[in-house]
Amino acid sequence: MLQFVLLAIWGLLASASPTPERRQANTLSAFIAQERPTALEGALANIGGLNSSWVEGASPGVVVASPSTVNPNYFFTWTRDSALTYMMIIDELIFGNRSLRTTIEDYTKAQAILQTVTNPSGSLWPAGDGLGEAKYYSNLTSFDGTWGRPQRDGPALRAIAFMNLAPVLIGLNETQEYKEIYWPLVLNDLKYVGQYWNQTGYDLWEEVHGSSFFTLSAQHRALVQGGFLAKELDEECLACEQASQVLCFLEHNFWNETGGYLTADVNVNNVNRSGINADPILAAITNFDINATCDASHTQPCNSRMLATHKVVVDSFRNLYPINKNASAPDAVLIGRYPEDTYFGGGAWPLCTLGAAELLYDAVAQINRTGTLSIDDDSLGFFRDIYPSANVSNYTGTVMEDILSAMTTYADGFVSAVQEYTPANGSLSEQFNRTNGESTSASKLTWSFASFVTMAQRKAGQYPHSWGAWTPSANTGLNSTQCNGTSHNSTGSYTAAVGAGAPNITTSCFSEVIFSVNATTAFGQNVFLLGNTTNLGNGINEPSKIILPLNPGNYSSRNPQWYVDIWLAAGVTAEYQYVLQQKNGTYTFEAGPTRHLTAAGCGSGRVVRVDEVARFPSS
Ligand SMILES: *[C@@H]1O[C@H](CO)[C@@H](O)[C@H](O)[C@H]1NC(C)=O
Ligand SMILES: *[C@@H]1O[C@H](CO)[C@@H](O)[C@H](O)[C@H]1NC(C)=O
Ligand SMILES: *[C@@H]1O[C@H](CO)[C@@H](O)[C@H](O)[C@H]1NC(C)=O
Ligand SMILES: *[C@@H]1O[C@H](CO)[C@@H](O)[C@H](O)[C@H]1NC(C)=O
Ligand SMILES: *[C@@H]1O[C@H](CO)[C@@H](O)[C@H](O)[C@H]1NC(C)=O
Ligand SMILES: *[C@@H]1O[C@H](CO)[C@@H](O)[C@H](O)[C@H]1NC(C)=O
Ligand SMILES: *[C@@H]1O[C@H](CO)[C@@H](O)[C@H](O)[C@H]1NC(C)=O
Ligand SMILES: *[C@@H]1O[C@H](CO)[C@@H](O)[C@H](O)[C@H]1NC(C)=O
Ligand SMILES: *[C@@H]1O[C@H](CO)[C@@H](O)[C@H](O)[C@H]1NC(C)=O
Ligand SMILES: *[C@@H]1O[C@H](CO)[C@@H](O)[C@H](O)[C@H]1NC(C)=O
Ligand SMILES: *[C@@H]1O[C@H](CO)[C@@H](O)[C@H](O)[C@H]1NC(C)=O
Ligand SMILES: *[C@@H]1O[C@H](CO)[C@@H](O)[C@H](O)[C@H]1NC(C)=O
């Protein structure tokens, strides 16, 4: 209750004043110390489950993008945002926050179910194409409206999130559990990546149809990490063998030599965009591996071409946003998604600006670890901005340390820029208005909160486990002169991750059905469902066939509800009845005729729900 009251006050603060007070903290480290726990709590409050203060009705483990339901309506769950959020949460667990285990298990089950939800992109069986669906309702049902489909980064990111859990379970001697619960879930997503990486889709901003740097980077990482994990688990991942082709494509098609930056999308018809975009910055922080060297692929933060891209992207916003006051380097500024953006006024995005900081913290750590800073023609401009006497050279010792220190100061500047417009309550929206810095678009955006936490982890020297970016096999394809658009066809082998909580839809198509019945019961009595399909017990009026108990989880004297949420063969018409189990174990059948219900057709994504009143004879 106390918590509820505090949250209510928080809500008032958030909407009360037109010019919100800024977060009070003198120093950057004080601000981060204050905001990091707020951001973690904010992310958790947007997830269905125990702490879901802001998203009533969301299923456990479902990440709602934002509690905002109008202008814009973000009360949905995106596979991408969810995976990025859980990558952060899983790392928080690894860094010591054991209380997060339950919500990670909730996420696991929710994703196992979502993989099987037939949707407008397709289905799990037989070809896996349904995995490319971008967003769902927060009750784990399909969203059938018009949308940018498919989005092929989701399966890769989700696989990465669950693969990051492997070292934890293996460390606990739970390798067998990992193989049974997680690996089938991961393998579906890896199969999807291996099968579809060479086909176009919508980018992470859901606007451009083509091949996105962010998407391909995540796909490359997923396949490399999957290959290593398969070996460790003594499993097979044939799809993972596509990794070198993905890297080859990435390495040869995205560098714009004239502009000196990595472009966000290729294979597009969009002529009105420069390709300057925060997409590669977010790719680099997602693929960051502390053990990678800077000459590994240009998806790594300290790679020269990535640092060059950082400069071009940041510079494109310096004179564009009035709030940046034309500040020039080495001052940091607020950045958005891409300079041509007009969505909700095309303002600054906290998650992009914090990503710009995070990339620099990552790069500093990587360079420091190798002990040499190699500045080349590509990265010279970036380094001259923060250290004017920099040259094309290999720096070590104190000069390297001075340059890294300037880089860290520069990184801090991006966080300070976010601090300047963070409201007093610490809530982070999707955007800051480019003219006055007011929080705008979706409020309490989960991804904004998650981006704050990952930035703070890196600044504190907390790094995710290495995924093998530094190994030769992760870099196969880097120097190939010929790339091949091959793929691995897994059609027919996608399998519901039953061990993780998915319904078994291996060979046919199933639809979700919710039975809800009002039945006032006395202590010791239970309600069952019996019907003529396999999971309903395959019987009518036969006590020996009763197998399906209803759940009294919502039961109260005012609302004597018993319910069950199950899957029936798509399109099937089931005959059924409710049964009252007496305290002594005997059964009382409903009076009157049996009932009938027809499950939704294959591919409709529709859930059929019945709300009924039991007809038990009063004793
Ligand atoms: C799921 O949520 C959507 C959107 O709120 C709603 O239309 C639908 O009825 C819900 N489905 C179930 C089974 O509750
Ligand atoms: C790990 O688990 C296996 C069985 O799964 C068991 O035989 C073994 O003793 C366990 N090792 C430790 C260190 O707990
Ligand atoms: C490469 O960058 C230059 C300079 O910014 C730009 O004019 C050109 O359109 C870009 N080329 C592509 C293919 O995006
Ligand atoms: C941003 O602020 C300006 C100036 O107050 C206002 O005109 C504009 O409508 C705001 N944009 C959004 C998206 O709120
Ligand atoms: C670089 O590494 C050294 C030794 O590991 C460490 O003491 C120092 O703090 C690091 N510097 C930066 C800027 O990360
Ligand atoms: C820096 O070192 C690398 C690797 O030894 C070498 O290839 C490169 O030429 C050096 N750069 C300069 C400017 O000396
Ligand atoms: C980096 O590699 C070393 C071994 O070379 C390993 O001990 C260390 O744990 C790795 N770092 C991370 C964050 O995985
Ligand atoms: C790619 O080529 C560069 C420069 O020739 C070399 O340093 C690097 O080791 C090569 N990488 C791989 C994975 O072959
Ligand atoms: C693509 O195929 C050609 C011809 O078989 C081969 O030489 C080349 O190495 C392949 N490229 C990659 C990245 O595997
Ligand atoms: C498929 O891969 C080939 C070889 O890398 C590349 O030329 C082509 O653009 C790719 N197409 C898509 C849609 O990824
Ligand atoms: C993939 O395999 C399935 C099942 O074997 C087959 O029906 C389908 O045509 C194959 N698709 C491609 C693109 O080869
Ligand atoms: C899933 O269903 C198929 C076909 O009905 C069956 O063969 C298989 O054993 C089931 N798998 C599990 C894990 O229940």
Model confidence at 197, pLDDT cuts 50, 70, 90, reads: very high
Cβ count near 272 (within 10 Å): 5
The lowest-confidence range among 47-51, 173-177, 326-330, 434-438 is: 47-51
Q: Which of 210, 344, 205, 357 is nearest to 281 (CA)?
A: 357
What pLDDT sits at residue 604?
65
DSSP string, 233-302: HT---GGGGGHHHHHHHHHHHSEETTTTEE-SEES---TT-----SHHHHHHHHH--TT--TTS-TTSTT
- The one-letter code for the residue type at 597 is L
266-273: long-range pairs with CB below 8 Å, 24+: 266/210, 266/211, 267/200, 267/210, 267/211, 268/208, 268/209, 268/210, 268/211, 270/208, 270/210, 272/340, 273/208, 273/338, 273/340
What is the C-alpha separation between 205 and 39, in angstroms, rounded? 22
Which residue is it, tokens 């009382």? Answer: 588
pLDDT at 504 over 80: no
Q: Which of 66, 102, 93, 197 is nearest to 490 (CA)?
A: 197
Nearest atom in ligand 10 to the alpha carbon of residue 245 is 5
What is the C-alpha separation between 378 and 316, in angstroms, rounded? 18
The lowest-confidence range among 60-74, 81-95, 495-509, 576-590 is: 495-509
Mean pLDDT, rounded, of the chain: 93
* Ligand number nearest to the C-alpha of 125: 11
List, by residue number, the catalytic residues. 203, 206
| β-bridge pairing 510-518 and 608-613 | parallel
| Tens digits of residue pLDDT in 400-413 | 999 999 999 999 99
Average pLDDT for residues 318-326, to the nearest whole number? 98
Higher-confidence residue: 555 or 508? 555
The lowest-confidence range among 115-119, 267-271, 491-495, 534-538 is: 267-271
Give nearest CA residue, ligand 8 atom 13: 475
What pLDDT sits at residue 571?
77
- The one-letter code for the residue type at 232 is E
What pLDDT sits at residue 16?
39
Contacts of residue 483, defined as CB under 8 A and 6 or more positions apart, other chains included, come to 245, 248, 249, 252, 477
What pLDDT sits at residue 56?
93
pLDDT at 277 over 90: yes
| Distance in Å, CA 159 to ligand 2 centroid | 26
Model confidence at 123, pLDDT cuts 50, 70, 90, reads: confident
Average pLDDT for residues 574-590, to the nearest whole number? 95
Would you say 124 and 612 are in contact if contact means Cβ atoms under 8 Å apart? no
Average pLDDT for residues 255-283, to the nearest whole number? 94
**Does 147 count as an annotated binding residue?**
yes
pLDDT at 185 over 80: yes
Question: Does the C-beta of 437 come closer than 6 Å to ligand 3?
Answer: no
What pLDDT sits at residue 10?
33
Would you say 575 and 567 are in contact if contact means Cβ atoms under 8 Å apart? no
What pLDDT sits at residue 18?
44
Partners of 423 in the β-ladder:
22
What pLDDT sits at residue 15?
40
Higher-confidence residue: 275 or 7? 275
The lowest-confidence range among 102-106, 137-141, 556-560, 606-610 is: 606-610
Which of 249, 251, 254, 269 is the pocket-test mutation for ligand 10 (most atoms within 8 Å of CB)? 249
Would you say 355 and 214 are in contact if contact means Cβ atoms under 8 Å apart? no
What is the C-alpha separation between 282 and 164, in angstroms, rounded? 18
What pLDDT sits at residue 526?
94
Which of 435, 439, 441 is the pocket-test mutation for ligand 4 (most atoms within 8 Å of CB)? 435
* Ligand number nearest to the C-alpha of 209: 10
What pLDDT sits at residue 492?
83
Q: Which of 172, 171, 157 is nearest to 107 (CA)?
A: 157
What is the C-alpha separation between 299 and 347, in angstroms, rounded? 26
Average pLDDT for residues 329-347, to the nearest whole number? 98
pLDDT at 3 over 70: no
| Distance in Å, CA 480 to ligand 8 centroid | 10
Question: Does the C-beta of 440 come closer than 6 Å to ligand 4?
Answer: yes
Which of 249, 251, 480 is the pocket-test mutation for ligand 9 (most atoms within 8 Å of CB)? 480
Average pLDDT for residues 78-87, to the nearest whole number? 98
pLDDT at 365 over 70: yes
The lowest-confidence range among 10-24, 233-247, 556-570, 605-619 is: 10-24
What is the C-alpha separation between 442 and 72, in angstroms, rounded? 6
pLDDT at 495 over 70: yes
Question: Does the C-beta of 198 come closer than 6 Å to ligand 10?
Answer: yes
* Ligand number nearest to the C-alpha of 342: 4
Q: Which of 9, 16, 3, 4 is nearest to 439 (CA)?
A: 16
| Tens digits of residue pLDDT in 146-170 | 999 999 999 999 999 999 999 999 9
What is the C-alpha separation between 506 and 407, in angstroms, rounded? 52
| Distance in Å, CA 268 to ligand 3 centroid | 14
pLDDT at 589 over 70: yes
Ramachandran angles phi, psi of 242, nearest 5°? -80, -10
Radius of gyration of the chain from its Cα atoms, rounded to whole angstroms: 26
Residues above pLDDT 70, as percent of the chain: 95
Which residue is it, tokens 């006051």? Answer: 325
Q: Which of 566, 569, 570, 567 is nearest to 604 (CA)?
A: 570
Average pLDDT for residues 303-320, to the nearest whole number? 98
What is the C-alpha separation between 538 and 198, in angstroms, rounded? 46
| Distance in Å, CA 174 to ligand 2 centroid | 8
pLDDT at 572 over 90: no
What is the C-alpha separation between 161 and 177, in angstroms, rounded? 17
What pLDDT sits at residue 508?
61
| CA of residue 206 relative to chain centroid, distance | 14
Would you say 352 and 335 are in contact if contact means Cβ atoms under 8 Å apart? yes
| β-bridge pairing 209-212 and 261-262 | unpaired
| Tens digits of residue pLDDT in 9-44 | 333 333 434 444 566 678 999 999 999 999 999 999
What is the C-alpha separation between 462 and 50, in angstroms, rounded? 27
385-390-391-396 Cα dihedral, nearest 10 degrees: -130
Give nearest CA residue, ligand 11 atom 3: 491
What is the C-alpha separation between 243 and 225, in angstroms, rounded? 10
255-263: long-range pairs with CB below 8 Å, 24+: 255/298, 255/305, 259/312, 260/308, 260/312, 260/378, 260/381, 261/305, 261/308, 261/309, 261/312, 261/313, 262/213, 262/298, 262/305, 262/306, 262/308, 262/309, 263/213
DSSP state of 513: E
Domains (ranges, CATH) in the chain?
Answer: 2-475 (1.50.10.10), 508-613 (2.60.40.10)
| Distance in Å, CA 256 to ligand 3 centroid | 6
